[in-house]
Protein backbone atom coordinates (compact mmCIF):
# COMPACT_ATOMS: atom_id res chain seq x y z
CA UNK A 1 0.00 0.00 0.00
CA UNK A 2 1.12 3.54 -0.55
CA UNK A 3 2.10 5.38 2.58
CA UNK A 4 2.28 9.02 3.49
CA UNK A 5 5.65 9.94 2.05
CA UNK A 6 5.73 13.13 4.00
CA UNK A 7 5.25 11.66 7.48
CA UNK A 8 8.43 12.78 8.56
CA UNK A 9 11.61 13.56 6.37
CA UNK A 10 10.42 15.48 6.04
CA UNK A 11 10.88 15.38 5.50
CA UNK A 12 13.78 16.38 5.25
CA UNK A 13 11.09 18.73 5.08
CA UNK A 14 12.69 21.85 6.45
CA UNK A 15 15.84 21.28 4.55
CA UNK A 16 17.62 18.76 6.69
CA UNK A 17 17.41 15.91 4.24
CA UNK A 18 17.55 18.26 1.25
CA UNK A 19 20.81 19.77 2.41
CA UNK A 20 19.79 23.42 2.65
CA UNK A 21 20.37 23.80 6.37
CA UNK A 22 23.39 26.08 5.98
CA UNK A 23 21.80 28.64 3.66
CA UNK A 24 22.05 32.33 4.53
CA UNK A 25 19.83 33.32 7.47
CA UNK A 26 16.64 35.25 6.95
CA UNK A 27 13.92 33.01 5.47
CA UNK A 28 10.86 32.30 7.64
CA UNK A 29 8.90 30.09 5.21
CA UNK A 30 9.80 26.77 3.58
CA UNK A 31 7.82 24.96 0.88
CA UNK A 32 8.39 21.49 -0.53
CA UNK A 33 6.79 19.20 -3.10
CA UNK A 34 7.66 15.82 -4.52
CA UNK A 35 6.69 12.58 -6.21
CA UNK A 36 7.53 9.00 -5.23
CA UNK A 37 7.14 6.13 -7.73
CA UNK A 38 7.42 2.35 -7.25
CA UNK A 39 6.31 -0.57 -9.40
CA UNK A 40 2.87 -0.86 -7.73
CA UNK A 41 2.40 2.50 -6.05
CA UNK A 42 2.92 6.21 -6.55
CA UNK A 43 2.32 9.36 -4.53
CA UNK A 44 2.61 13.13 -4.70
CA UNK A 45 2.98 15.41 -1.70
CA UNK A 46 3.71 18.95 -0.59
CA UNK A 47 3.76 21.19 2.42
CA UNK A 48 4.84 24.38 4.16
CA UNK A 49 6.71 25.24 7.35
CA UNK A 50 6.71 28.62 9.13
CA UNK A 51 9.18 29.95 11.71
CA UNK A 52 6.82 31.60 14.18
CA UNK A 53 9.29 33.64 16.22
CA UNK A 54 12.44 34.00 14.11
CA UNK A 55 14.02 32.57 10.98
CA UNK A 56 14.42 28.97 9.82
CA UNK A 57 18.09 29.05 10.89
CA UNK A 58 17.34 30.03 14.50
CA UNK A 59 15.92 28.14 17.48
CA UNK A 60 12.21 28.67 17.89
CA UNK A 61 8.68 27.48 17.31
CA UNK A 62 7.58 25.98 14.00
CA UNK A 63 4.18 25.51 12.39
CA UNK A 64 3.97 22.85 9.67
CA UNK A 65 1.21 21.66 7.36
CA UNK A 66 1.57 18.95 4.72
CA UNK A 67 -0.51 16.57 2.64
CA UNK A 68 -0.77 14.58 -0.53
CA UNK A 69 -2.32 11.65 -2.32
CA UNK A 70 -1.28 8.21 -3.48
CA UNK A 71 -2.34 5.17 -5.48
CA UNK A 72 -1.38 1.54 -4.92
CA UNK A 73 -2.35 -2.03 -5.77
CA UNK A 74 -1.87 -5.44 -4.14
CA UNK A 75 -3.13 -9.01 -4.23
CA UNK A 76 -4.64 -11.03 -1.42
CA UNK A 77 -5.89 -14.58 -1.14
CA UNK A 78 -9.70 -14.71 -0.83
CA UNK A 79 -12.50 -17.27 -1.18
CA UNK A 80 -14.39 -16.41 -4.36
CA UNK A 81 -17.43 -17.92 -6.04
CA UNK A 82 -15.19 -20.52 -7.66
CA UNK A 83 -13.07 -21.22 -4.59
CA UNK A 84 -9.72 -19.79 -3.41
CA UNK A 85 -8.18 -17.11 -5.63
CA UNK A 86 -5.61 -14.29 -5.59
CA UNK A 87 -7.70 -11.15 -6.02
CA UNK A 88 -6.25 -7.80 -7.09
CA UNK A 89 -7.18 -4.70 -5.06
CA UNK A 90 -6.56 -1.08 -6.03
CA UNK A 91 -6.36 1.71 -3.47
CA UNK A 92 -6.34 5.50 -3.41
CA UNK A 93 -5.39 7.46 -0.34
CA UNK A 94 -5.36 11.10 0.72
CA UNK A 95 -3.39 12.31 3.74
CA UNK A 96 -2.77 15.54 5.65
CA UNK A 97 -1.28 16.69 8.93
CA UNK A 98 -0.92 19.88 10.96
CA UNK A 99 1.99 19.96 13.40
CA UNK A 100 3.45 22.40 15.92
CA UNK A 101 7.07 22.00 16.95
CA UNK A 102 10.26 23.53 18.25
CA UNK A 103 13.71 23.73 16.65
CA UNK A 104 16.86 23.42 18.76
CA UNK A 105 20.02 24.73 17.13
CA UNK A 106 23.77 24.46 17.75
CA UNK A 107 26.77 25.12 15.53
CA UNK A 108 26.74 21.61 13.99
CA UNK A 109 23.37 20.13 14.93
CA UNK A 110 19.71 20.91 14.28
CA UNK A 111 16.98 19.07 16.21
CA UNK A 112 13.25 19.50 15.59
CA UNK A 113 10.38 17.96 17.56
CA UNK A 114 6.74 18.11 16.39
CA UNK A 115 3.29 17.02 17.55
CA UNK A 116 -0.19 17.57 16.16
CA UNK A 117 -3.07 16.06 14.24
CA UNK A 118 -3.16 13.66 11.31
CA UNK A 119 -5.85 12.47 8.90
CA UNK A 120 -5.91 9.81 6.20
CA UNK A 121 -8.47 8.31 3.84
CA UNK A 122 -8.14 4.99 1.96
CA UNK A 123 -10.59 3.92 -0.74
CA UNK A 124 -10.05 0.30 -1.83
CA UNK A 125 -11.73 -1.26 -4.87
CA UNK A 126 -13.16 -3.84 -4.63
CA UNK A 127 -13.87 -3.56 -0.93
CA UNK A 128 -11.35 -5.51 1.16
CA UNK A 129 -12.93 -6.57 4.49
CA UNK A 130 -9.51 -7.67 5.78
CA UNK A 131 -7.87 -4.25 5.26
CA UNK A 132 -7.48 -2.34 8.52
CA UNK A 133 -6.28 0.82 6.72
CA UNK A 134 -9.59 1.53 4.98
CA UNK A 135 -11.99 4.46 5.13
CA UNK A 136 -11.33 7.77 6.90
CA UNK A 137 -9.46 8.14 10.17
CA UNK A 138 -8.18 11.00 12.34
CA UNK A 139 -5.49 10.77 14.98
CA UNK A 140 -2.43 12.22 16.66
CA UNK A 141 1.07 12.42 15.19
CA UNK A 142 4.56 12.98 16.60
CA UNK A 143 7.77 13.52 14.64
CA UNK A 144 11.45 14.24 15.28
CA UNK A 145 14.23 15.26 12.91
CA UNK A 146 17.96 15.63 13.51
CA UNK A 147 20.67 16.95 11.19
CA UNK A 148 24.37 16.89 12.12
CA UNK A 149 27.55 18.00 10.38
CA UNK A 150 30.02 15.15 10.98
CA UNK A 151 32.84 17.02 9.23
CA UNK A 152 32.82 20.29 7.25
CA UNK A 153 31.77 18.30 4.15
CA UNK A 154 30.03 15.19 5.53
CA UNK A 155 26.58 15.24 7.16
CA UNK A 156 23.98 12.84 8.47
CA UNK A 157 20.23 13.17 9.09
CA UNK A 158 17.57 10.97 10.68
CA UNK A 159 13.81 11.59 10.70
CA UNK A 160 11.16 9.55 12.50
CA UNK A 161 7.38 9.86 12.88
CA UNK A 162 4.42 7.92 14.23
CA UNK A 163 0.68 8.57 13.77
CA UNK A 164 -2.15 6.79 15.53
CA UNK A 165 -3.99 7.01 12.22
CA UNK A 166 -3.74 3.40 11.03
CA UNK A 167 -0.58 3.02 13.17
CA UNK A 168 1.51 4.68 10.47
CA UNK A 169 5.25 4.97 11.11
CA UNK A 170 8.38 5.99 9.24
CA UNK A 171 12.10 6.12 10.04
CA UNK A 172 14.51 7.33 7.41
CA UNK A 173 18.14 8.36 7.27
CA UNK A 174 20.51 10.02 4.85
CA UNK A 175 24.22 10.65 4.82
CA UNK A 176 25.61 13.09 2.30
CA UNK A 177 28.89 14.51 1.07
CA UNK A 178 29.14 18.13 -0.09
CA UNK A 179 30.94 17.48 -3.34
CA UNK A 180 30.73 21.11 -4.48
CA UNK A 181 29.06 24.30 -3.28
CA UNK A 182 26.02 23.31 -5.36
CA UNK A 183 26.00 19.50 -5.20
CA UNK A 184 25.51 16.92 -2.44
CA UNK A 185 25.81 13.16 -3.09
CA UNK A 186 24.87 10.43 -0.65
CA UNK A 187 23.02 7.30 0.42
CA UNK A 188 19.60 6.85 2.01
CA UNK A 189 17.54 4.18 3.75
CA UNK A 190 13.97 4.00 5.06
CA UNK A 191 11.59 1.70 6.89
CA UNK A 192 7.86 2.48 6.99
CA UNK A 193 4.50 0.87 7.48
CA UNK A 194 1.00 0.91 8.88
CA UNK A 195 -1.50 -1.60 10.26
CA UNK A 196 -1.48 -3.53 6.96
CA UNK A 197 1.96 -2.97 5.52
CA UNK A 198 5.69 -2.90 6.29
CA UNK A 199 8.41 -1.96 3.81
CA UNK A 200 11.98 -0.79 3.51
CA UNK A 201 14.21 0.79 0.90
CA UNK A 202 17.82 1.70 0.27
CA UNK A 203 19.39 3.81 -2.46
CA UNK A 204 21.34 6.88 -3.38
CA UNK A 205 20.50 10.54 -3.94
CA UNK A 206 21.85 13.74 -5.46
CA UNK A 207 20.86 17.26 -4.39
CA UNK A 208 21.46 20.31 -6.57
CA UNK A 209 21.24 23.64 -4.72
CA UNK A 210 20.82 27.18 -6.04
CA UNK A 211 20.58 29.63 -3.16
CA UNK A 212 17.61 28.67 -0.99
CA UNK A 213 16.19 26.26 -3.59
CA UNK A 214 17.18 22.60 -3.76
CA UNK A 215 16.19 19.80 -6.13
CA UNK A 216 16.76 16.21 -5.00
CA UNK A 217 16.58 13.04 -7.09
CA UNK A 218 16.86 9.59 -5.51
CA UNK A 219 16.60 5.99 -6.68
CA UNK A 220 17.14 2.51 -5.31
CA UNK A 221 15.46 -0.75 -4.35
CA UNK A 222 12.38 -1.20 -2.15
CA UNK A 223 11.03 -4.38 -0.53
CA UNK A 224 8.09 -5.35 1.68
CA UNK A 225 7.23 -8.14 4.10
CA UNK A 226 6.03 -10.34 1.23
CA UNK A 227 9.73 -10.45 0.19
CA UNK A 228 8.94 -8.79 -3.14
CA UNK A 229 11.33 -6.09 -4.36
CA UNK A 230 10.78 -3.10 -6.64
CA UNK A 231 12.86 -0.21 -7.93
CA UNK A 232 11.85 3.23 -6.69
CA UNK A 233 12.52 6.79 -7.77
CA UNK A 234 11.76 10.12 -6.13
CA UNK A 235 12.02 13.74 -7.20
CA UNK A 236 11.49 16.65 -4.81
CA UNK A 237 11.87 20.42 -4.72
CA UNK A 238 12.53 22.47 -1.58
CA UNK A 239 12.44 26.27 -1.29
CA UNK A 240 13.00 28.78 1.54
CA UNK A 241 11.95 32.42 1.48
pLDDT score, position 84: 80
1-6: average pLDDT:
34
pLDDT score, position 82: 76
Which residues in 19-108 belong to E strands, given as ranges?
A: 29-38, 41-51, 60-80, 83-105
Dihedral (C-alpha) 102, 115, 49, 171: value to the nearest 10 degrees? 100
pTM above 0.75, yes or no: yes
CA distance 13 to 104: 16
Per-residue pLDDT at 208 exceeds 50: yes
CA distance 78 to 58: 54
Per-residue pLDDT at 195 exceeds 80: yes
CA angle 217, 7, 227 (to 5 degrees): 75
pLDDT digits (tens, 9 = 90+) for 147-172: 999 999 999 999 999 999 999 999 99
Amino acid sequence: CALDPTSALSDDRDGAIYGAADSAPGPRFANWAGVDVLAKSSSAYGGMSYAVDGTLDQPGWRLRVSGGMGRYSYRRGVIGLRGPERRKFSGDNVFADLLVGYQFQSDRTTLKIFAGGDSEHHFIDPDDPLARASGTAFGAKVAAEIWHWITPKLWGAVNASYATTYETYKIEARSGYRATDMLDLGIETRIEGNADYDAGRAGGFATMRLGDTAVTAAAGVSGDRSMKTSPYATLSVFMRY
